Amino acid sequence: MIADRPHPQTLPLLPAMLCVLGAGWATGLVFQFQSPWLTRLDLLLDPRVAQVTLALLSALVGAWAIRLLLRGVCRFSITFSHAYAALVAGDLVSLGLSFALIGWATRTAGAGAMSYLPGLFGPGLLGLFLSVYLVQHAARPLDYRPPPVPVAPAGSRGDRYDEIVSAARDASLGLVDIVLNVPAAEVPGVVLNGIPGLELSIRSLEETACPIAVLAEAHGRLLGGLAQLEDDLVEAARQAGLSSMRYGWELAEGAGVKAVRGALAELGQHGLGTTW
């Protein structure tokens, strides 16, 4: 039946699984060169705490890899926070079930607990499928655009829209200014902390009507620019983490910054986005 077919905007299961597995391979490749540091981590922390910490760190690399694979191979996009949350959720479920199974086996079988090791594949598979499910339903095609925003009458809604646009300016261009003025070593952390605020601004704009009909196109260009700027910021964080000094110029002159500045300038001519 037609009603049972997958929604055309949903990432198919097989590409989603391959992207998650590919991200795991890329993460393993990166952390393979950090083995001395990982050994010190195991010595400093409780083994379980060390495994959870490693999972949280590796998910940062994995989220970046998933975004690249989805964009380059599947022509889909996903926000950094959604990709990171999907991998962390899968890792925590897998680790939690593994810890519980090992504890139960140790209490039950004692010295024979090693015979239960094959059962640890189960938690790993559950974690994998959870990550795949979350990635599959969070990803969107590159040409995806939200439904047209209905035009609302001016007045109190206009004041609300003004505040939302102003918040978007601060979350986007304000974040760019911070990134351009901190040492390269701090850029990944600054971007990671700023991305949730940027994504919140994008969602707020998607759910809010533009009070001036002739500015509907500027509203759409602002949304597109913010989405592009998010990708540019993640790429800048990656380059800064690799000690590349080009990230600042590429971010400041990138398509995302230019699109956001242009849309904000047009909205500002009509008194929108001027509240600070």
Q: What is the rounded distance in angstroms from the CA atom of residue 28 to the CA atom of residue 206?
A: 37
Residue 252, classed as helix, strand or coil, is helix
Q: With 0-12 CB in 10 A as exposed, 13-18 as middle and 19+ as buried, what is 210? A: buried
What digits encode the pLDDT tens for the residues 208-259? 878 888 888 889 899 989 988 988 888 888 888 776 677 788 888 888 899 9
Convert the pLDDT of each residue in 150-201 to its tens digit: 444 444 456 788 889 999 999 999 999 999 999 888 888 898 889 899 989 9
Could you give the CA distance from residue 221 to residue 265 in angstroms, rounded to a whole number? 12
Per-residue DSSP letters for 181-197?
TS-GGGHHHHHHHHHHH
Which residues are within 8 A (CB) of 34 and not within 5 positions of it... i.e. 6 or more apart? Answer: none
* Dist. CA 14–CA 18, nearest whole Å: 6
Q: What pLDDT does residue 222 have?
A: 92
In tens, the pLDDT along 61-81 reads 888 888 888 888 888 888 888
Residue 74: C-alpha distances to residues 200, 206, 256 (Å): 25, 24, 22
Q: What is the 8-class DSSP label of residue 77?
A: E
- In 3D, which of 224, 232, 225, 220 has the Cα closest to residue 176? 232
d(CA 102, CA 113): 8
Alpha carbon distance 230, 19 (integer Å): 20
pLDDT tens across 33-57, in order? 555 555 555 556 666 777 777 777 7
Which among 256, 259, 199 has a CA at the least distance from the CA of 231? Answer: 256
